[in-house]
Structure 1
């Protein structure tokens, strides 16, 4: 198994910047790339806020970032063609031993790997936002990912102090986003139908479902409920759940009006001043509390 010393993080958005910080904190030599000087500047501010800026080099020259890399973490936009083109270019510029990972939350790993000369070397390494706080990484195999690559990524995640789950079939959304969007679909239906407000749907999850799932997860909770009870409730509820395959019209109108959430200052909620920063700090504190990750664990 190749020893990883030099890591190239490709894409310097919020995810890429925080991944670079996690890698640097774990003792790797890190180079962070973006085409945009402004994005690199913003990424440097994020990395500096996490206290590891001295261990990260910043570049807008791809060849420079990839030089001597033992591992690549690709973090550009969720577009198949863009990722394929970039991964092809990366494959030509790194050594055969270099571990190629893509941090995609929805794009097919098999589809991405098909653009490579050696598709067995690519693997999905799906981080969660914020990468420095969330305790888990989702490992996603393509149809051709070599078992040795899977083992290498598991070992890497252990060094990073991250838990892992392995997705053994390359399906859209993998495991965690499929679970998340199943709930989001029903949440949007409840709001659309006037059954609950945005605020009450959020509070229902925050104050009841989330704490219980954090303690046990849905499958174990079913054991405690009693599987016979689950069967009876499922008979009533499953036929009644929403099965929409598109977003509701009112949400599409909101998006068309460029009310995109924190990035635009308004979405489901208004985000004036530093309210988004305060919300993120509150989120991070809750995640650390629920997962038992204190400052010394980061």
Structure 2
């Protein structure tokens, strides 16, 4: 199966679906991008690069979008019942060798596959935003996912120039979100208890942790520090870290106030449209520079 002979059905045309469709199209794949909403498809089309836009058909009929698909990339809302019903329907509408992937970031793969006749066909293929920029995809095994399906997904990621990691157990948050939210919990603990300001917590990460982690992951860095030192610090620190559960109080309060981040003009910070564009551009440029350095 080559890029030129494969047909990718991208189900859901929101921010992630449209971005994923663009990645496939830019690598030579023919893409059917599906949404029930013509308005959503029109918005997605407006963001397509003319260099590859001709490889994407935008379609409002699910059966038509799935016809002859060799890969399905599902990107609908994070609603377990919606995803479960969708895959139960889709598996009979695609060829038997079609690779079925879900871009869920939170719903267990096993829960989504529960309504399928052949749950072993489903695999998590978790992209990160923006799909065209972020270099890695998480491949998540469900309880029944076969080795062959995982291997096919790894090959698909490689064909897109993406690195991948395999998550061998179907746990909430997989790997990257678990790491991210563990740190977020401690960051919010420091802010909520007046230990450091929002800006200073961010500055600590941006100036120290992030540059170090861009050169080596946390476990590699601990080897560099010395595991005898890690043991001594762990004995003092681990029990002192936040073990709070549930939604952090500050996040709950901001949500109640409608302060949802850049989309609302206010979250932890106040945002103008210009500041939002600049922050996103800076994020993407930083990731691209790091990607270039890793490729050397």
Smaller-chain TM-score bracket: over 0.9
In structure 2, the partner of 1:166 is 166
**TM-superposed deviation, 1:184:** 0.5
Does residue 22 of structure 1 match 2:31? no
Quickly say closer, same or farther: Cα 1:22–1:84, change in 2 above 3 A: same
Does residue 227 of structure 1 match 2:235? no
- Per-residue CA deviations over 1:20-73 (Å, capped at 9, x if unaligned) read 00000111100111122222122112223x842221111121112111111100
Quickly say closer, same or farther: Cα 1:226–1:256, change in 2 above 3 A: same
Q: Is the contact between residue 33 and residue 60 of structure 1 (CA under 8 Å) also seen in structure 2? A: yes
In structure 2, the partner of 1:12 is 13
Partner Cα distance (2:248, 2:183) in 1: 15
Q: Is the contact between residue 109 and residue 123 of structure 1 (CA under 8 Å) also seen in structure 2? A: yes
Please give the secondary structure, in 1, of the residue aligned with 2:47: helix
Partner Cα distance (1:248, 1:71) in 2: 38
In structure 2, the partner of 1:112 is 112
**TM-superposed deviation, 1:2:** 9.0
Partner Cα distance (1:115, 1:106) in 2: 18
Please give the secondary structure, in 2, of the residue aligned with 1:140: strand
Q: Is the contact between residue 126 and residue 139 of structure 2 (CA under 8 Å) also seen in structure 1? A: yes
Runs of 4 or more off by more than 2 Å in structure 1? 1-4, 45-48, 247-251
1:104-183 correspondence runs (5 A): 104-183=104-183
Partner Cα distance (1:2, 1:112) in 2: 28
Q: Is the contact between residue 185 and residue 248 of structure 2 (CA under 8 Å) also seen in structure 1? A: no
**TM-superposed deviation, 1:293:** 7.1
**TM-superposed deviation, 1:93:** 1.3
Q: CA RMSD in A?
A: 1.7
**TM-superposed deviation, 1:200:** 1.0
- Per-residue CA deviations over 1:161-186 (Å, capped at 9, x if unaligned) read 00111011111111111111100100
Return 5+ residue gaps in structure 1 as ranges. none
**TM-superposed deviation, 1:191:** 0.8
In structure 2, the partner of 1:37 is 38
Please give the secondary structure, in 1, of the residue aligned with 2:92: helix
Q: Quick one: higher RCO (CA 8 Å, sep 6+), 1 or 2? A: 1
Partner Cα distance (1:248, 1:124) in 2: 27
- Per-residue CA deviations over 1:79-98 (Å, capped at 9, x if unaligned) read 11111011112112111111
In structure 2, the partner of 1:60 is 60
Partner Cα distance (2:282, 2:53) in 1: 24
How many residue pairs match? The answer is 294
Please give the secondary structure, in 1, of the residue aligned with 2:270: coil
1:23-102 correspondence runs (5 A): 23-48=24-49, 51-102=51-102
Partner Cα distance (2:51, 2:245) in 1: 43
Q: Is the contact between residue 20 and residue 47 of structure 1 (CA under 8 Å) also seen in structure 2? A: no
Q: Is the contact between residue 192 and residue 248 of structure 1 (CA under 8 Å) also seen in structure 2? A: no
Return 5+ residue gaps in structure 2 as ranges. none
Quickly say closer, same or farther: Cα 1:2–1:162, change in 2 above 3 A: closer
**TM-superposed deviation, 1:270:** 1.6
Q: Is the contact between residue 141 and residue 169 of structure 2 (CA under 8 Å) also seen in structure 1? A: yes
Please give the secondary structure, in 2, of the residue aligned with 1:92: coil
